[in-house]
Structure 1
Amino acid sequence: MKIIFISNRKGTTRSMVLSNWAKALLSLCLLGLPISGGILIGSLLASGNHPIDITLINSMRQELEQQQSELDLGREDAQQKVKAITLKLAEFQARLVRLDALGERLSEVAGLEDGEFDFGQQPAVGGPEQDSLQSYQHTELEALFQQLEEQLDSRESQLGILESLMMDRNVQRQSAVTGRPIKKGWLSSRFGRRTDPFTGHRAWHNGVDFAGKAGSEIIAVAAGVVTWSGERNGYGQMVELDHGEGYATRYAHNSENLVKVGDVVKKGEVVALMGSSGRSTGPHVHFEVYKNGRAVDPASYIRRTIR
């Protein structure tokens, strides 16, 4: 083997030829140093007399185990929250289904026009876009909850309005003077001029008469307040009701009055029993309707219906 040495300062070179013994010694040094170093490190690790701190490894292992435990707990907590959110969403959807069914049923009962209260469609909303809200971002879950909440608010608002309308219509039906003052009987005398049954002369009849069986029920044709209940000249036992808005009704010739002054009665409630008290020829009810203090023909109110 020939080794050449080069000098940087003088630019000269020198060479040296190694003998076989020198070559063997050089190879032994180059190969022996790594092997002996590995053997030394292995012996140190086996004996425990090494510079690597085993406690640091154990600490890192414990920290990894703690992080894994926290991760498992976090995953379990997240699953519980997702389950709770899923149940809440199902509850919201069930409430919406019930509200929609109730709203549609009430709309049918109220006889509202198609489309006036549509519980099967998304609530109609709108408005100009606001720049201040453009940067506000919702997560999908927040957006879903907000949509459900808006639908619930819309349904509740529609139901509130529908309830108010139905109450108004119910009040209108209750207070409107309509129908016959009896459950059983027949019309025996009309409103206007007729032959008086006692004198035989033409006379004015201020109401209509319904004949029937003595003791038959006499009912209020509208809700109102009792302003008279007792004997009255020519009428016999009479009940008078004030229905508001200038309307009043009278039920006369009763055998018995079942209400007293100040009572509040509902439409269809029994107020007296049919008789023949006062100026009467037999069991019947004399029915009068007053509007703003003036007697009017009850026939139009008997045939009248409120929708």
Structure 2
Amino acid sequence: MAVAVVTQRRKRRVVSELEYSPRVWLITGATSGFGLALTEAAAAAGDLVVGAARSPDRLDHVVAAYPDQVSAVEFNVTDRARCAEVVSEVVARHGRLDVLVNNAGRTQVGALEETTDEELRALFDLHFFGPAALTRAVLPQMRRQRSGAVVQMSSVGGQVTAPGFGAYCATKFALEGLTETLSQEVDFGVRFLIVEPGAFRTNLFNPGAAYLSAPMPEYAGTVGPTRDYVASGDGSQSGDPAKAARAILAALDASTPPLRLVLGSDAIDGVRGRLDALGRELSEWEAVGRDTTVE
């Protein structure tokens, strides 16, 4: 009979009293920020992790710390043709794939009028089309297993907007809409978790990490403060990526996991404020909306 044991930070379910079968993770953007924190947390908990990154050598220190558990693979999530190959490589090596984390991403700031078509399409490739293709690639394996989890690293920007973050928020809104729909149409044991962090001390605000569209003076009053915040806010964020990783692992291990996990007091306050505003607006215009019914 399987028994519950405690290993490091959380309770684990084992296949016997003597043996635990570790989960196999595929994490994109694994060399920094949430991706690195999740790689280290999963390995410390006894799981196996394949960290995917454009520069996999940046994961060498984690591979050295966990040589039997962590490996790195070169992968650019915008290379949608390679998604199925990466999944096949993971399954060939480990026999299964239990958790996919779509984490790779970047910050972009610019009013819509400042944002070029190329910039907008590139961000959608990174934040939406890439994760969609990789999710599509893992579903057949998880269907065969009748189990698995897909973690979409969204943002509070998947719920709450701000001037200058239009392109960024659009990609996250799209990813969240797709994932919520997946949770309704996939019925073979796969869980979906949308993570919505607020401001955490990742590298998104590092000098050179955030992409800033060419500014127009007409938007200095609205987008200017956002641009200044991103350019100077690195290191001032209140969120701890290591604590976020532990929260994500706890959500995945919950008997009734959430669909959305909002991380950080700033994010929780922002989402609550948006929900309150939506409720007030819905109530204010409810009679007008209901009066459109055919009689």
- Structure having the higher strand fraction is 1
Structure with the greater alpha carbon radius of gyration? 1
Report the TM-score when normalising by structure 2: 0.20
- Structure having the higher helix fraction is 2
